[in-house]
Structure 1
Amino acid sequence: MSEAQAITDDELEMIRRQLRGVKVVDVRQVGGDDTVGVLLAEKLRAQGFETGLSHVERIVPSPLRRIGIRFRGDRAEITLTPEVRPNALSPLGRVPL
């Protein structure tokens, strides 16, 4: 998958744990082609979540994390930036300082 990396099992498990009580998940992919975002949305749908998918070329400021989650009631918005490589020390994909 070129520069973009697929969602790892560890990342998927971290996301699943964070989504307790959530019914609807909107996946927003930043940059690249939609492949990684589509795969994540499909995996979440298979786990029983209602999902939506959008794609933006970039956001300012640029994300430092590969995966960001924001909550609103029983909804969650996952911002996925596949070009940010996961850090071996953190499933959140933090960029080392």
Structure 2
Amino acid sequence: MMTNAPFLIESDHALLRHHLRGIRIIELRQIGGTPEHGAEMMAHLENLGFAVKFRKLERMSPPPLLRIAFRYPGPGTAEMTIAPDVGA
């Protein structure tokens, strides 16, 4: 039976502040997990004032090693991948 525990934990808030400094637009990508995980992260980012685009991915090669990973394709833009099942 799956629990409805929140995806974001306390240490994630500092991680997001650090990695998203100077960012305005985020492409949020989710691999695995439940729809609630993506919705929670998207709502959190929007509440912080980011413009967010969401995409659900079936897989990624190589597979993610971290629950939350970042790439920066251009000024003011970040690609953030969440993988709720990593480390579970």
Give structure 1 regions of 4+ aligned residues with deviation exceeding 3 angstroms.
none
Taking the aligned partners of 1:79 and 1:56, their CA distance within structure 2 comes to: 9
Which sections of structure 2, spanning at least 5 residues, go unmatched? Answer: none
Q: Structure 1: how far apart are the matches of 2:33 and 2:42?
A: 16
Match of residue 75, structure 2, among 67, 73, 88: 73
Q: What does residue 25 of structure 2 align with?
A: 24
Q: Aligned residue for 2:58? A: 57
Instruction: Give aligned pairs, total.
Output: 86
Q: Percent identity of the aligned residues?
A: 31
Tell me which residue corresponds to 1:35.
36
**Higher mean C-alpha deviation, range 14-23 or range 75-84:** 14-23
Task: Report the CA distance between 1:33 and its aligned residue.
Answer: 2.5
Gaps of 5+ in 1: 87-97
> What TM-score results when the alignment is normalised by the length of structure 1?
0.77
Normalised TM-score (structure 2): 0.85
